[in-house]
Amino acid sequence: MRVLLVEDDAMIGEAVCVALKDAAYAVDWVRRGDEAADALRYGEHQAVLLDLGLPGRGGLELLAGLRQQGSSIPVIIITARDGLSERIAGLDSGADDYLVKPFDLDELLARLRAVIRRQGGQASGLIGNGQITLDPATHTAFCGESREVLSSREFAVLHALLLQPGRILSRSALEERVYGWDEEVESNAIDYLIHQLRKKLGAASIKNIRGAGWMVEKEQ
């Protein structure tokens, strides 16, 4: 899952980046509002963590522009602005959640899991397709009698597939969700991760659609 972090404070940005990467998110970090607007034009990200007091373009202006363009990407505002009127303005501008600094990184990750889950139409803390169940909080997958703790990359691939069961995700689509801008991707990286997941969860857990990509079955 790929997240765009829009934060001009170096210390906070670095801490959030580390927490996101430890939690198996691919993260791209920009420090200006206008840079964020450019990054979001390509639709590579599945969520945005957005500060409000940004150089180049303010966070609320950026958010309002996104919603006017019809984007439904989940957005969590992270800001030191804690006034009631500011929180209302943020949510009314289209934010999915609003978190005031200083915040606990575990809480930020929990809120991020929640908005991404809801974006995928999942209300439960667990996601699954009737065959495989995945706990995003612990990176544990359940399939039949198997219970497997996944590596960060394995989790990221399976999470992406389970959020859209029945949909084929191509190699490039999976790479976009698993790797950030500054990460080098080997040509067979996704194949290797799919192989590892099948080894842990069973060969039938992930289907290969020749020439198109991979998918998990949609629950009937």
Residue numbers of the domain that contains 106: 2-120
d(C-alpha 7, C-alpha 50), whole Å: 7
**For the chain, which residues score pLDDT lower than 70?**
220
Whole-number pLDDT of residue 14: 96
Token pair listed for 85: 């009127």
Q: What pLDDT digit, counting tens, does each position of 24-53 carry?
A: 899 999 999 999 999 999 888 999 999 999
Whole-number pLDDT of residue 148: 94
Whole-number pLDDT of residue 124: 82
Whole-number pLDDT of residue 135: 93
* CATH at residue 105: 3.40.50.2300
d(C-alpha 179, C-alpha 23), whole Å: 13
Domain boundary among 77, 96, 120: 120
| 220: in domain | no
Whole-number pLDDT of residue 145: 83
| 94: in domain | yes
Whole-number pLDDT of residue 5: 98
Question: Do 112 and 143 reside in the same domain of the chain?
Answer: no
Nearest by Cα to 25 from 47, 10, 50, 43: 47
d(C-alpha 159, C-alpha 69), whole Å: 27
Amino acid at 211: G
Whole-number pLDDT of residue 184: 84
Domain boundary among 120, 145, 160: 120
User: How many structural domains are present in the chain?
Assistant: 2
d(C-alpha 161, C-alpha 1), whole Å: 10
d(C-alpha 106, C-alpha 112), whole Å: 10
Helices (H) then strands (E): counts for the chain: 8, 11
Helix/strand/coil for 104: coil
State the angle between helix axes of 10-22 and 105-119 in degrees (0 to 180), rounded to the nearest 10: 60
Whole-number pLDDT of residue 78: 97
Whole-number pLDDT of residue 180: 85
Radius of gyration for the alpha carbons in the chain, expressed in angstroms and rounded: 18
